[in-house]
Amino acid sequence: MRKPNDTSRAATDSSQQRRAIATFWSPLLKDLQTIVERATQLDQTHTPYVLATVVQTSGSVYRGPGTRMLVEEDLQSYGSINGGCLEGDVRENAKQVFTDGHPLLLHYDATPEDDILWGTGLGCSGTVDILLERLPQNKDFHYPNILHDCAFAGQRGILVTVFAVAGETSARPGQHLVVDAGGNARDDIADAPLRDLALATAREALDTLDNTRLPVATGLTRHYDLDQGKASLLIEFLLPPIALYIFGAGYDAVPLAYFAGELGWRVTVADH
């Protein structure tokens, strides 16, 4: 069943993350490009939209942390977060976010075999936490810009999202920190100790990105105990599209270029 603001602390298994990388990224990149392109258009006219982000998963799920879906005020949506199982309910909950402007955390649990609502037997047999945020907000720091730079400008970076808090802390869900490829940071995290933890984690993730040269992007969840509270963060490795160079423009290059383009890759064909 769905429970708003449920923040179960699922552990992140590294081998599961590696599998998630291979499973989730290819369709994600094309979705991301579609989403940020539409978000940019809406930003230019100051038209509100809700960005739904998968921030935590466990068990068998279709898409991993970092998957996004954009919802407009008329409930038209772009992108897919769970293969069709949850999108309709997310759109319904987006109405509340449009109305009050407050981020909303949704928790979906399809593990019970007798759950006829979410346990449909279609592969959705895990748990998924999804953060809904109304954008654009009236502040200088607009984190979707780094998503655009990743998808279209060939930039790399780390994006940290606060998605759940408890106890005494000034941090709030929907606050973010970004570290670009040069190590420069921008953020709107109100809790200074949490900001320091987030920055250290982001720079460590950036070092990992530099040292391992991951060919694809993924996200992982971290939970922190503060002096008088707790916070849960999503850390995303943001990478530019894979660049594919095809030498020769014969008939066999056509399907290769087409399918690579459908995955969101940057395709260059060289011929004479």
- pLDDT, tens digit, 9 for 90 and up, residues 75-107: 999 998 877 778 999 999 999 999 999 999 999
Q: Do residues 109 and 1 lie in contact, with contact meaning Cβ atoms separated by under 8 Å?
A: yes
Q: What is the pLDDT of residues 118-150, one digit of tens each?
A: 545 445 678 899 999 999 886 777 888 888 888
* Residue with the larger pLDDT of the pair 214 and 74: 74
How many whole angstroms separate alpha carbon 162 and alpha carbon 178? Answer: 12
Other C-beta atoms lying within 10 Å of the C-beta of residue 207 = 12
Q: Is the pLDDT of residue 69 over 60?
A: yes
Q: Do residues 54 and 65 lie in contact, with contact meaning Cβ atoms separated by under 8 Å?
A: yes
Residue 1: HSE in the Cβ half-sphere, 13 Å Cα cutoff: 2
Q: Is the pLDDT of residue 9 over 50?
A: no
Among 15-19, 167-171, 194-198, 237-241, the range scoring the smallest mean pLDDT is 15-19
Distances (CA, A) of 126 to 40, 55, 92, 264: 33, 14, 21, 28
Say if residue 136 is preceded by a cis peptide, omega within 30 of 0. Answer: yes
Q: Which residues contact 43 (CB under 8 A, 6 or more apart)?
A: 135, 136, 142, 144
How many whole angstroms separate alpha carbon 124 and alpha carbon 93? Answer: 19
Q: Go through 122-132 and write b for each residue having 16 or more CB atoms within 10 A of its CB, e for each that does not.
A: eebbbbbbbbb
What is the share, in percent, of the chain residues with pLDDT greater than 70? 82
* Global confidence as pTM: 0.81
Among 6-15, 47-56, 68-77, 213-222, the range scoring the smallest mean pLDDT is 6-15
* Residue with the larger pLDDT of the pair 40 and 138: 40
Other C-beta atoms lying within 10 Å of the C-beta of residue 184 = 9
Interval 20-49 mean pLDDT = 76
pLDDT at 213: 62
- Three-state DSSP class for 23? helix
How many whole angstroms separate alpha carbon 151 and alpha carbon 36? Answer: 8
- Spatial CA neighbour of 26 closest among 266, 268, 265: 265
Q: Do residues 172 and 191 lie in contact, with contact meaning Cβ atoms separated by under 8 Å?
A: no
